Amino acid sequence: MSNAQIERQWTSRLRHRVVEKLPPEKLLPDTQPAYVASWIYVFGVTTMAALGIVILTGTILALDGPQWWHSSSLGHFINSMHLWSVEIFFFAMVVHLWGKFSMAAWRGGRSMTWVTGGVTFLASILAGFTGYVSQTNFDSQWISTQAKDGINATGGGAFFNVLNLGQMLMWHIVLLPLAAVVLTGLHVIMVRVKGVVPPFEETTEVSA
Amino acid sequence: MAQGWGLGALFNLDHYGHYIQWHVIQISVANLVVIILMVATFIAALFAPFPGRRNRKGSK
Amino acid sequence: MTKKAFRPDVDAPEYKGAYVPYDIIKEGAIAVLVVLILTAALALVFSSPDEKAITIKTWSNADTVDFAQTAGDELTGTSAVAGYGAPYNNNGTAQHWGFLAPEHWVGVHIPINTTNDFVINPLSDQPAQPRLTAALNEWKSASSATQSAWGAAYAKVEAKLTYSNGQVHLPTTAAGPIPVLLSYETQMARSGALDQALIAQNGFYTTNYTKPLLFISDGTYFAGLASKQHLAGDQWGMMNETGQYPGQAWLWLYTFWYQISPYNTSASGDFLVWGTMMILTALLVLLPFIPGLRSVPRRLKIYRIIWREHYARQA
């Protein structure tokens, strides 16, 4: 096989494209522009850290099944960590959103970064909601019977039955975490490819 | 409830909540605290001095 | 680049300034550690809520009259679920806005017949007892007109329903077998057998609680418990949590619409709220493409605070 043939292979082409778009020094940078000097920049990584803890505690909860936490004090504690990491997750994500809005961080070809962030927010809300209705307690009974009306009104209730615990639990522990992680991954890759948005150019009033 | 592991809550939040009502707005104290903290965190993040990035000129 | 004019809310200026050292892995590690400690601390200090689920057994023992009245509504087809419409049955008007009626288009997917699913079938599975069997036979062999007449007679005196000595009493003789059926249904509920019967309709294994949840949601007992906890829709309940815990505060805007007109007065309120939220969500997600809206941050000038060191260096 000649070199040219190898270069034409799908695998080679994909590798070239990836390396060109996202070279290692962009994926894992060791420097950043000097304008990145504000605490507002830490809320993206805080959101991801919280997502990590949410997944970790959720994984521990999954080990012994959906009702273990009602009867085990360790289970209840892990459930508490799951709840509070979710609160921190949304807290950090909202501050991150306000920060990125303030910087108009979609400028310079970064609009899809904003869009994936927004969709991640929606997926997270749905993930949180399915968690609330999977608790198998009074809270989940009430939330599911209330939420059914809204979802039914859209026609979606026929396929997404919030009163079906098995369905909600599957969405909560498989489908939506997968969506959240994939979307977050795309979001972060886009940030690394394009870099952090540069400041607005301040129009300097010329006085002389 | 959570005994044996000594992991019970230090503050029991299982009592009926407190709510603030202002015209059409009704919000639990807990949610209000979270939202105020969120706004406060945002403002603090804007104004707090960021360490270690001063007077670093010189380009790459 | 040179052809197009520079649009400040779409294009970004090229940065030619300094770069500073940045340890992305260290930053991530610190973030994980901080969030882990904070999470564990909050969990230790505040724990998490776990209000026990109610059952039809606890409901019917705590408020027997409310249960028996609800069962009567299910039997006679006057409960909220009985008249819900899609996706449960064809008895209600679908929520809509103009010609938009997705609930109607989708149709019945989770068929619920409250008379049979909630009352007649569970009672029919009970061990044979002469009085019950006779009442069931009377109901099943009656024409729907007769059943409706019994239902109408029941509706007139429903508010005066009492329960004593294991029997439901109604001050009427025109309700046919309804008082007897409700007596057995209530006994069944109070013993816990009705919970089992409703769940077992799905077969041996089940992960689907649609029927018992719908039944419970038709009573006033359940809603009363929720109202005490400020969880009702008109109490901004969607963002609230049992006890004094913070809830899904991020649903504030969604739950807000339910507090104001026309959303809280329209029969299609849920549909209007969802429609409104879909439009607003689209505005948020597609913000970078919306002229005017995307200029807001530049005019707000919060960015000047964020990048103050950068601008100070430039000056």
- Do the Cβ atoms of A86 and A128 come closer than 8 Å? yes
Chain A to chain C Cβ contacts (< 8 Å): 271
Q: How large a percentage of chain C has pLDDT more than 90?
A: 83
Is residue C43 within 8 A of residue A77, CB to CB? The reply is: yes
3-state secondary structure of C71: helix
The domain locations on chain B are 12-49
C114-168: pLDDT as tens digits: 999 999 999 999 998 999 999 999 999 999 999 999 999 999 999 999 999 999 9
Which residue reads 């439009």 in tokens? C279
- Per the CB < 8 A criterion, the answer to whether B28 and B19 are in contact is yes
CB-based contact, C300 to chain B, within 8 Å: no
Smallest Cβ–Cβ distance between A103 and the set C42, C237, C303 belongs to C303
C45–B24 CB contact, under 8 Å: no
Residue with token string 């294009």: C11
Residue C276 to residues A18, C180, C252, C271, C272, Cα–Cα distance (Å):
40, 48, 14, 9, 6
Q: Which residues of chain B are modeled with pLDDT < 70?
A: 1-8, 52-60
First vs last C-alpha separation in chain C: 26
Q: C74: closest CA among C54, C58, C61, C89?
A: C89
Q: pLDDT of C20-77, one tens digit each?
A: 999 999 999 999 999 999 999 999 999 999 999 999 999 999 999 999 999 999 999 9
Would you call A141 and C54 a contact, using CB atoms and an 8 Å cutoff? yes
- The yes-or-no verdict on residue C3 having pLDDT over 80 is no
For the record, the structure tokens of A91 come out as 């807290």
- Measured CA to CA in angstroms, residue A105 lies from A1, C10, C293, C301, C305 at distances of 47, 9, 14, 13, 15
Work out the minimum CA distance from C310 to partner chain A, whole angstroms. 5
Which residues make beta-bridge pairs with A32? C20
Structure tokens at C233: 């829709």
Q: How far apart are CA A186 and CA C15, in angstroms?
A: 24
List strand residue ranges (DSSP E) for chain C, in order: 19-21, 162-164, 167-169
Interface of C with B in 198-257 (CB under 8 A): 228-230, 235-236, 239-247, 249, 252
* Check: complex ipTM more than 0.85: yes
Residues of chain A in contact with residue C199, where contact means CB-CB under 8 angstroms, are none
Say if C191 falls within a structural domain. Answer: yes
Contact at CB, A146 and C233, closer than 8 angstroms: yes
Residue in chain C closest to A103 (alpha carbons) equals: C303
**Crossing angle (nearest 10°) for helices A176-194 and A42-63:** 160
The answer to whether A173 touches C224, Cβ cutoff 8 Å, is no
Tokens 């043939």 map to which residue?
A5
Q: What is the pLDDT of residue B4?
A: 44
Mind listing the pLDDT tens digit for each residue in C167-194? 999 999 999 999 999 999 999 999 999 9
> Distances in Å between the alpha carbon of C58 and those of A138, A199, B15, C229?
12, 61, 21, 18
What span, in angstroms and rounded, lies between the C-alpha atoms of C150 and C139?
10
Q: Is residue C138 a contact partner of residue C196, using CB atoms and an 8 Å limit?
A: no
Nearest-CA distance from C28 to chain A in Å?
6
- In chain A, residues with a C-beta closer than 8 Å to the C-beta of B14 are none
Residue C156 lies in a domain: yes
- Is residue C213 classed as helix, strand or coil in its secondary structure? helix
Give the residue numbers spanning the domain of C122.
56-221
Residues of chain A with pLDDT under 50: 205-208
Nearest residue on chain C to B53, alpha-carbon basis: C20
Distance CA C215, CA C202 (A): 15
- Per-residue pLDDT, averaged over C245-254, amounts to 91
Query: Is C75 a domain residue?
Result: yes
For chain C, what is the mean pLDDT? 94
Task: Select from C206, C216, C304 the Cβ nearest to the Cβ of A141.
Answer: C216
Closest CA to B19 of A91, C48, C231, C264: C231
pLDDT of residue B7: 59
Nearest CA in chain A to C312: A35
Q: Would you say B46 and C13 are in contact if contact means Cβ atoms under 8 Å apart?
A: no
**C295 touches C9 (CB < 8 A):** yes
Exposure string for B1-26, b = 16+ CB within 10 A, e = fewer: ebeeeebebeeebbeebebeeeeeeb
- Each residue of C99-127: pLDDT tens digit? 899 998 999 999 999 999 999 999 999 99
* CA C164 vs CA A90, C68, C154, C187: distances in Å: 51, 12, 18, 11
CB contact under 8 A, C42 and A84: yes
The position carrying tokens 């057994």 is C57
Nearest Cα to Cα of residue A68 among A163, A135, A167 = A135
> What whole-number distance in Å separates Cα of residue A168 and Cα of residue A164?
6
Q: Does residue C90 lie in a domain region?
A: yes
Residue pair C31/A47 in contact (Cβ under 8 Å)? The answer is: no
C-alpha to C-alpha distance for A40 and A34, rounded to whole angstroms: 14
- Domain count across chain C: 1
C-alpha torsion angle, residues C67, C70, C75, C80 (rounded to 10) = -150
pLDDT of residue B15: 80
Whether omega for the bond prior to residue C8 falls within 30 degrees of 0, making it cis, is no
pLDDT at C314: 84
User: Which pLDDT does position A74 carry in this prediction?
Assistant: 95
Instruction: Classify residue C180: in a domain, yes or no.
Output: yes
Whether the predicted pLDDT of C2 surpasses 60: no
**Which amino acid is located at A69 in the chain?**
W
C-chain residue closest to A143, CA distance? C238
Picking from C13, C43, C245, the nearest residue to A201 by CB comes out as C13
Backbone phi, psi, residue C91, to 5°: -90, -5
**Gap between the Cα atoms of C112 and C214, Å rounded:** 9
Closest residue to B9, CB basis, from C45, C51, C229: C45
Contact C283, B55 (CB under 8 A): no
3-state secondary structure of C282: helix
**Residue C231 within a domain:** no
Q: How far is B38 from chain A (nearest CA, A)?
A: 6
Q: Is A141 exposed, middle or buried (0-12, 13-18, 19+ CB in 10 A)?
A: buried
Q: How far is A14 from chain C (nearest CA, A)?
A: 26
Q: Which of residues 110-169 of A touch C (CB under 8 A)?
A: 110-111, 114-115, 118-119, 122, 125, 128-129, 132, 135-142, 144-147, 149-150, 152-159, 161, 163-167, 169
For chain A, the structural domain boundaries read: 38-103, 104-196
Which of A39, A43, A77 is nearest residue B50 as measured by Cβ atoms? A39
Question: What residues of chain A lie within 8 A of the CB of B5, using their CB?
Answer: 73-74, 77
Q: Does B5 touch chain C (CB under 8 A)?
A: no
